[in-house]
Chain A
Amino acid sequence: MAMIEMKNLSKWYGSFQVLKDCSTRVDRGEVVVVCGPSGSGKSTLIKCVNALERFQQGEVIIDGISVGAPGTDLPRLRARVGMVFQHFELFPHLSIMENLTLGQIRVLGRGADEARDKGVKLLERVGLREQAEKFPGQLSGGQQQRVAIARALAMDPMCMLFDEPTSALDPEMINEVLDVMVELAQEGMTMMCVSHEMGFARKVANRVIFMDRGEIVEDALKEDFFGKPRSERAQQFLSKILHH
């Protein structure tokens, strides 16, 4: 059964069309990597999944609930979809622990102690137990992104969205974040990742989606995608990023 399903999604900024008739699905337990050149609309696409960006045409359905329907309780739906951003977006005025407990307390209605226990467990899991009382500005980029993943996991999400989680990181910090993501994938988390990390895709992805100019050009099983991408655009893109 599909966890995330997109049907004929189109979006315009004014007269400029950023998404053209995009359709795909992510099944329960599946890991899908979305790649493509900058400006191809992949970031917009993933933000449409939990309606951070509005779309004008088409439909997104998460766990049977239509995101764009007028009656949908978006905050409730978003609470069940974890999201990790390119620039981490931890809340700078809150301590690491407060970043992890804010949503649990205010959205899920958990008690402070319960939220804290959960926070400690997740920080342990991403290897940052000692940093709990620090503030985001005192952590390295890689550490901040691991906290951001823990923050999303604290809400017990049914699936996770990653929007270029490693592209703002210094090279030496990329692996510590990817390791956490690989582990998550191996545990069976449903994941949709906008990423250029082809090593990560090779390792854990079930499918790879290639986007260009607002269109989904390729949507293939990992083996097929890396074996013989059918479109010329995808081939060019792959040769560019795999060169080094």
Chain B
Amino acid sequence: MNFRWEWEVFLRDTGGGETYLHWMFSAWGWTLSVAACAWIIAILFGAVIGTLRTVPSLLLARLANAWVELFRNIPLLVQIFIWYHVIPSLYKPLQEVPSFILVVFALGFFTSARVAEQVRAGIQSLPDGQRYAGLAMGLTLPQTYRFVLLPMAFRIIVPPLTSESMNIIKNSSVAFAVSISELTLFALQAQEETSRGIEVYLAVTGLYMLTAFAVNRLMAFVEQRVRVPGTLGAAR
């Protein structure tokens, strides 16, 4: 094996008036956008669905469980294909919607099932007395959730949410399959065009790791900020 590095490949022109380096950074931007937008959807839906799984209404709890099972038991790639190929052809107005949006919903709903599971576990880990205490002072059930249960539940689940937010970065790579110009698609195409797969893959892998590390630090900062004085691990 005689292999020689050829990092200059990134300075080559893609044929479209920009370098591969340019392209890679714009692809990184797409990766971040897909992941960030999907994350917002996942948190919103995950919080609502996870909460519904703990309410006294059997019907709502069942519906929320069905949501979780549906989005958890189908591979992400298949879900992306369904959003991209199936839903627009069954509901025509969606054909105008850019594929970026469709992928964001696919990844967001997929992740929402996992977030919902964490939210449910977080709420159920709180003692029953907290719910009683909220209700006993005259708060309505929604108020009890908003002011008493959810603020504590979310603090408890910051660590698992950290790994979910790192997963969502990794999972955004599946968007390559429907031609979202994110990092993985860049890696595939640049490898094909330049035949310098190792350099291209190394750079892309490095960016993924860097992103995951940054997200990890960000979440550690969040964890520090929301920590309640007087609880385990906090300075008294």
Contacts and interface: CB of A to CB of B under 8 A. Distances in A.
B137 interface: yes
A221 to B, nearest CB: 29
A207 to B, nearest CB: 23
A55 interface: no
Contacts of B152: 91-93
A88 B138 CA distance: 17
A85 B229 contact: no
Contact of B228 (A78, A86, A135): A135
Interface string B124-152: 00010110111111111001000110011
Interface in B143-190: 143, 147-148, 151-152, 155
B223 to A, nearest CB: 14
Given A47-B132, A87-B127, A138-B236, A106 B139 contact: yes
Interface of A: 47, 50, 52, 74-83, 85-87, 89-93, 102-103, 106-108, 134-139, 151-152, 155, 161
A124 B20 CA distance: 69
Chain B contact residues: helix, strand, loop or mixed: helix
A89 B234 CA distance: 20
A78 B134 CA distance: 10
A92 B231 contact: yes
A106 B148 CA distance: 12
Interface size class of B (residues with CB under 8 A): 20 to 34
A107 B146 CA distance: 13
B16 interface: no
B1 to A, nearest CB: 58
B225 to A, nearest CB: 12
Nearest to A103: B137
A97 B156 CA distance: 22
A52 B132 contact: yes
A103 B136 CA distance: 10
A83 B228 CA distance: 24
Interface of B: 127, 129-130, 132-140, 143, 147-148, 151-152, 155, 228-231, 234, 236
Contacts of A135: 228-231
Given A78-B138, A106-B139, A137-B230, A91 B132 contact: no
Contacts of A82: 136
B122 to A, nearest CB: 13
Contacts of A80: 138
Given A92-B228, A137-B229, A107 B155 contact: no
Nearest to B151: A93
Contacts of B231: 92, 135, 137
Nearest to A161: B136
Contacts of A152: 137
A151 B137 contact: yes
Nearest to A53: B132
B14 to A, nearest CB: 51
B55 to A, nearest CB: 15
Given A93-B155, A134-B230, A138-B229, A75 B132 contact: no
A90 B147 CA distance: 12
B57 to A, nearest CB: 14
Contacts of A52: 132, 135-136
Contacts of B134: 91
B184 to A, nearest CB: 40
A92 B129 CA distance: 12
Contacts of B228: 92-93, 135, 137
Contact of B139 (A85, A90, A107): A107
Nearest to A105: B147
B156 to A, nearest CB: 10
A97 B59 CA distance: 38
A83 B229 contact: no
Contacts of B148: 91
Contacts of B137: 78-79, 83, 102-103, 107, 151-152, 155
A161 B231 CA distance: 28
Contacts of A91: 130, 133-134, 147-148, 152
A119 to B, nearest CB: 13
Contacts of B129: 85-87, 89
Nearest to B232: A137
A106 B143 contact: yes
12 contacts: A52-B136, A82-B136, A89-B127, A91-B133, A91-B147, A93-B151, A103-B137, A103-B138, A106-B139, A107-B137, A134-B229, A136-B230
